[in-house]
Structure 1
Amino acid sequence: MNTYNESDLKEFCEKVLEKMGMRKDYSEVVADSLVKANLEGTDSHGISRLSIYAKRFMDKRINVNPDIKVTKKAPTVLQIDGDNGLGHVVSWKAIKEGIEIAKESGTAAIAIRNSNHFGTASYFCQMACEQNLACIGFTNSPPGIAPWGGKEAFFGTNPIAFGFPTGNDQPVIIDLSTSIVARGKIILAAKQGTEIPDGWAIDEDGYPTKEPAAALKGSVLPLGGAKGAALALAVEILTGVLSGAAFGPHVKNLYDDNETENANVGHFFLLLDIKKFMDLTLFFTSIQNLLQEMKEVPKKPDVSEIRYPGERRKRESASRQLTGIELSGNVEQELKELGADFHIPFPEAMSLDHSSKSFSL
């Protein structure tokens, strides 16, 4: 696999999006979100998604420059209509609006409808943490999980995310799907032509499968069995029902070429201004003590370090900023073809000497 510089990939993303008519501030957000996912090791939600987004812009299934409507329903309640925009830009605008309200009133609850896939939920939690706000985020998605006991996908993989500032540049970031694995990882495996591990999914007949194509026709298994399926239902209620978006099997699939309706994905965010609850310095001291004591718990024989959620993400990002971002041959070819369509050259791969630098933290 070839390795690429993050700034080169961002620039490529921005140029493609702007060539399609996206306004500059939106293209910067989308490019930043995609490449940041790659930097942090979440390649399934990274630049590999650019081609499908571009395709849906071209066939008018996603609005490249949405007229996002923000309605203040109560002092701390925002309702957002995303005008069928890409979820990255819809959620970015929603979080920006919500931060101002949370700083004034202490909390902000944001319900979003008429949106699309928004990348990693962690991206928006990080936005809040940079302002010393805590964030809880949810989104629904096209059917991916069967209800417990069923064999047909009904709920989305419906991620849940939390972000807590720590007083340094390494916040606690918890970002997990209610499925045992993000469906994007199965999509990426299908692109790369690799098998998926046992225990990830069942096929359309309800039998375990290691074939990503069969898994995409069947169902991803819920995290923790029945408990994961219950969490998926809770997220569906918050993001689909409460927001007025689509829910369950009514959320349309971005990857279905035969679909003509808007996806109508729903998101829900809750922002908390920590200063309104307690002294910020005391909070930082307490959370750092909590994390340090957690890390000092006696370790299992095969464990060298206990890490909190967000540490691996930060370290991986620092490493890949130096060594570069690896892209599979399939993803690389797909992006080169996309660039050629718009007469935008794909960046040159990093030299072997530069991309093989050792790095440790």
Structure 2
Amino acid sequence: MSENKIKRIEEQKLRKFTQDVFLSMGCSEEDATLAADVLLKADLRGIDSHGVARLIGYVRLWDKGRINSRPTIRIVHETPSTATIDGDAGLGLVVAPFAMKIALEKAENVGSGWVSVKNSNHFGIAGYHALMAVNNDMIGMAMTNASPLVAPTFSKERMLGTNPICYTFPAGKYPPIVVDMATSTAANGKLEVAQRKNLSIPSGWVQDKNGADSRDAGELKEGGSLLPLGGDRDHGSHKGFGLSSAVDIFSAVLSGASYGPWAPPFVSFLDPADDQPGEGLGHFLGAWRVDGFRPVDDYKRNIDQWIDRFKKAERTNESQPVIIPGEPEELAERINRTEGIPLVDAVVEDLNSLAERFNIQAIQFS
């Protein structure tokens, strides 16, 4: 099948447009700027499944009264190294950075900080929040539960989200190492991208409502489910299921958010369950001071050596170098800042529908 056309737009134009949408939703100037920054970071890093393509989804939840555009985010439980945050149904794009700042402050004071979050919403890419740590010579971590779209190993019932987890490690002469991944075979956003581009998906990502393999990117809307990382038991799906379970427990059971099949969905074809056991979506964020373990300079010398050695690992194909986690996204960010952020026609149509609704300037390409 053919792909939609792709055009590039200047970062600042897209940033201004995104801010204007959040302002039209009633967000404060500060929150609109922050929320736009999280979405733009995804697009800049080539993670277009979690960038401005998601903007119409936040508006949809706001229309349904599920997003509070003026939240009072507060700490509801606290120790010197831990805290639990009530996001007051705010944008996860705003709530999660608030929580990460608390984690960083606690790490600065006592060596590490751990913050759980309840009563939040979709928080964009986990990498944005975890990367907040590296500029402070800290290791960062971020995870969240999500729309119940993933069936556990040996099941066809949707019980868990794609439940991403991210770790970020500062380096010396190199960009930080960023391990940012869904705990399912693929993020739901990748299916949405495939639908917008009129593409099939690889075998092993999705099963239909009867548990049979499917390559239809729209299968979830027909009652199908994503599979845990690994795909099936023979290829280690029980490990993906285990990782996803840990994210769900850290993010939601620990914080008091809703978990498992009760997690409030972001996708348009699911409605929240009536018997919610908790409040909203949950996140879990953490930070460790590197100098809590050894001098920073010593660590950076060794992490640079680690990167150097892995880059020199013997290749199976001489034309394909070993890729360090975070390297493709770093390259994409350099290119997209210079050449503009790529948008497919389907996303532009969604954005311009928001422009018409909120009476703001439509997307304009140079």
Match of 1:166 in 2: 171
Q: Could you say which residue in structure 1 is the equivalent of 2:119?
A: 114
Q: How far apart, in 1, do the equivalents of 2:147 and 2:270 lie?
A: 14
User: Equivalent residue for 2:103?
Assistant: 98
1:221 to 220, 227, 237: 227
Residue of structure 1 in register with 2:246 after alignment: 234
**Residue 282 of structure 1 corresponds to which residue in structure 2?**
298
- For residues 163-192 of structure 1, give each alpha carbon's deviation from its aligned partner in whole angstroms, at most 9, with x where no partner exists: 011135610110011101111111232334
Q: Post-superposition shift, 1:278?
A: 1.1
Name the structure 2 match of 1:212: 217
Letter in 2 for 1:232: S
Q: Which of 60, 71, 80 is residue 75 of structure 1 equivalent to?
A: 80
1:346 aligned counterpart, secondary structure:
coil
Aligned to 1:353: none
d(CA) in 2 for partners of 1:162, 1:192? 30
Give aligned-pair identity as a percent. Answer: 33
Q: Distance in 2 between the 1:230 and 1:56 partners?
A: 30
* 2:72 maps to amino acid: D
2:145 aligned partner: 140
Shift of the alpha carbon at 1:296?
1.2
Distance (Å, rounded) in 2 between the aligned partners of 1:195 and 1:53: 26
The residue type equivalent to 2:227 in the other structure is L
Q: Which residue is 1:342 aligned to?
A: 358
Do the aligned residues in 2 keep the contact of 1:180 with 1:222 (CA within 8 Å)? yes
Q: Distance in 2 between matches of 1:101 and 1:127?
A: 14
- 1:249 corresponds in structure 2 to 261
Q: Distance in 2 between matches of 1:16 and 1:155?
A: 30
- Following superposition, the deviation at residue 258 of structure 1 comes to 6.9
Moved more, 212-221 or 278-287: 212-221
What is the 5 A alignment of 1:1-361?
1-168=6-173, 170-216=175-221, 217-224=223-230, 225-256=237-268, 259=271, 264-350=280-366
Closer, same or farther: CA 308–257 of 1 in aligned 2, 3 Å:
closer
Alpha-carbon distance between aligned partners in 2 of 1:193 and 1:149, rounded to the nearest angstrom:
30
Q: Is the 8 A contact 1:245 1:266 kept in 2?
A: yes
CA contact (8 A) 1:142 1:252 kept: yes
Within 1, Cα distance between the matches of 2:100 and 2:133? Answer: 7
Q: Please tell me the residue identity of whatever aligns with 1:144.
A: L
Deviation at 1:134, TM superposition (A): 0.5
Structure 1 stretches of 4+ with a deviation exceeding 4 A read 260-263
| Contact 2:152 2:227 (C-alpha < 8 Å) held by counterparts | no
Corresponding letter in the other structure for 1:277: F
C-alpha displacement at 1:2, in angstroms? 1.8
Q: Pick which of 295-304 and 142-151 moved more.
A: 295-304
SS in 1 for 2:18: helix
Tell me how far apart the structure 2 counterparts of residues 72 and 60 of structure 1 sit (CA, whole Å): 26
Provide the C-alpha distance between the structure 2 equivalents of 1:342 and 1:272, rounded to a whole number of angstroms: 42
Question: What does the per-residue CA deviation read over 1:324-350, in whole Å, with 9 as the maximum and x for residues that have no partner?
Answer: 112111110110110111111123213
Q: In the aligned structure 1, how far is the partner of 2:300 from the partner of 2:261?
A: 42
Q: Give me the whole-angstrom Cα distance separating, in 1, the residues matched to 2:30 and 2:172.
A: 28
Q: Which amino acid aligns with 1:341?
A: R
Instruction: Structure 2 unaligned segments of length 5 or more: list them.
Output: 1-5, 231-236
Instruction: Output the CA distance in 1 between the equivalents of 2:156 and 2:213.
Output: 11
List per-residue Cα deviations over 1:141-175 (Å, max 9, x = no partner).
12121111001111111111100111356101100
Check the 8 A contact 1:189/1:196 in 2, yes or no. yes
TM-score (norm 2): 0.92
Offset of residue 72 of structure 1 = 4.8
Distance change (3 Å), C-alpha of 1:119 and 1:169: farther
Unaligned runs of 5+ in 1: 351-361
User: d(CA) in 1 for partners of 2:320 and 2:189?
Assistant: 30
Q: Is the 8 A contact 1:186 1:215 kept in 2?
A: no
Q: Contact 1:209/1:215 (CA < 8 Å) preserved in 2? A: no
- Deviation string for 1:75-94 (max 9, x for gaps)? 10111011111111000101
